[in-house]
Amino acid sequence: MNTPSSRRTLNSTQRKNPAMCQHQPPCPSADSADREAARLTVHHPEQGWSLLCNGVLLFEDTGELLPDGQIIAPHRPSAGRIMKVA
């Protein structure tokens, strides 16, 4: 008798990709360089943040919070904002 040994028991490892993005073609994932190209699912300009469909939380100051908890520092283009040193 042939018993297929290809059957794998599913470990309870969480899937890394939260199946939030249902766009076709799928948007860049949260760990890709152009993650900001994903579409907005939640937009709260009055609170200064948006949630992209890949799970990235995008802040008004261009800072980001990735789904795995990683924080990306703001990287706004140097628009000539003058920093005052008090």
What does the radius of gyration of the chain's CA atoms come to, in whole angstroms? 19
The interface region with Zn ion, picked from 3-11, 14-22, 69-77, 78-86 by CB under 5 A, is 14-22
Residues in 57-76 that interact with Zn ion by CB under 5 A: none
- The correct pick among 30, 35, 50, 53 for binding Zn ion (CB under 5 A) is 53
- What residue ranges in the chain does DSSP mark as E strands? 40-44, 49-52, 57-59, 64-65, 71-72
Question: Coil, strand or helix: which one is 22?
Answer: coil
Backbone angles phi, psi at 40, to 5 degrees: -80, 135
- The correct pick among 16, 23, 43, 76 for binding Zn ion (CB under 5 A) is 23
Instruction: Closer to Zn ion by CB, 19 or 79: give it.
Output: 19
State the residues that interact with Zn ion by CB under 5 A: 21, 23, 27, 39, 53
